[in-house]
Amino acid sequence: MNKEKGGIVMEDRVLSIKKGLPPGTLVYTGKYREDFEIEVMSYSPEEFREFRTTNVEDVLSLRDSSMTTWINIVGVHRTDVVERIGEHFGIHLLVLEDILNINQRPKIEFFDEYVFLVLKMITYDENSSELTSEQISLILRGNCVLTFQEKRGDVFDPVRERIRHNRGVIRKRGADYLLYALVDALVDNYFVLLEKIDDETEILEEEVLEMSAEDTVQKIYVLKRNLIELRKTIWPLREVLNEISRGESSLIKEETLPYFKDVYDHTIRIADTVETFRDIASGLLDVYLSNMSNRTNEVMKVLTIIATIFMPLTFIAGIYGMNFEYMPELSWKWGYPVVLIVMGVIAFLMVVYFRKKKWL
**pLDDT tens-digit map of 302-346:** 888 888 888 888 887 877 777 666 677 667 777 778 888 888 888
pLDDT attached to residue 257: 93
Radius of gyration of the chain from its Cα atoms, rounded to whole angstroms: 34
Q: Which sign does the torsion angle of CA 308, 309, 312, 314 carry?
A: negative
Q: How far apart are the first and last CA of the chain?
A: 45
Residue ranges, comma separated, of all CATH 3.30.460.20 domains in the chain are: 21-291
Alpha-carbon distance values, 275 to 22, 190, 224, 228, 282 (Å): 40, 14, 11, 9, 11
Residues 6+ apart with CB under 8 A from 123: 131, 132, 134, 153
One-letter-per-residue 3-state SS of the chain: CCCCCCCHHHHHHHHHHHCCCCCCCCCCCCCCCCCCEEEEEEECCCCEEEEEECCCHHHHHHHHCCCEEEEEEECCCCHHHHHHHHHHHCCCHHHHHHHHCCCCCCEEEECCCCEEEEEEEEEECCCCCCEEEEEEEEEEECCEEEEEECCCCCCCHHHHHHHHCCCCCHHHCCHHHHHHHHHHHHHHHHHHHHHHHHHHHHHHHHHHHHCCCCCHHHHHHHHHHHHHHHHHHHHHHHHHHHHHHCCCCCCCCHHHHHHHHHHHHHHHHHHHHHHHHHHHHHHHHHHHHHHHHHHHHHHHHHHHHHHHHHHHHHHHHHHCCCCCCCCCCCCCCCHHHHHHHHHHHHHHHHHHHHHHCCCC
CATH fold group of domain 301-356: Methane Monooxygenase Hydroxylase; Chain G, domain 1 (1.20.58)
pLDDT for 8 equals 39
In this structure, how many other beta carbons lie within 10 angstroms of the beta carbon of residue 241?
Answer: 24
Question: What pLDDT score was predicted for residue 13?
Answer: 52
Residue of 138, 130, 143 lying closest to 65 (CA atoms): 143
Smallest Cα–Cα separation from 97: which of 18, 37, 182, 35?
Answer: 18
Yes or no: say if 148 and 28 are a contact pair by the CB < 8 Å rule: no
Low-confidence ranges of the chain (pLDDT < 50): 1-12
Burial annotation 128-138 (CB, 10 A radius, 16+ → b, else e): ebbbebbbbbb
- Tell me, what's the pLDDT at 40? 94
Residue 179: closest CA among 121, 239, 233, 241: 241
Residue 190: predicted pLDDT: 92
CATH 1.20.58.340 boundaries in the chain: 301-356
Closest residue by Cα to residue 118 from 79, 150, 160: 150
Q: What pLDDT does 5 receive?
A: 43
CA atoms of 34 and 196, how far apart (whole Å): 28
pLDDT value at position 12? 47
* CB 135, CB 104: distance < 8 Å: yes
Residue 38, class by beta-carbon neighbours within 10 Å (0-12 exposed, 13-18 middle, 19+ buried)? Answer: buried
Query: Right CATH number for 21-291 from 3.20.20.60, 3.30.460.20, 3.40.50.620, 3.40.50.10490?
Result: 3.30.460.20
pLDDT, position 3? 42
Q: Taking a C-beta distance cutoff of 8 angstroms, is the pair 76, 30 a contact?
A: yes
Residue 292: predicted pLDDT? 77
Instruction: Provide the pLDDT for residue 291.
Output: 79
Q: Are 180 and 169 in contact (CB under 8 A)?
A: no
Neighbours of 89 (CB within 10 A): 19
Q: What is the pTM of this model?
A: 0.77
Q: What is the pLDDT of residue 73?
A: 93
Q: What is the pLDDT of residue 15?
A: 52
Give me the pLDDT at residue 170, please. 92
In this structure, what are the phi and psi dihedrals at residue 13, rounded to the nearest 5 degrees? -65, -40
User: What's the pLDDT score for residue 337?
Assistant: 81
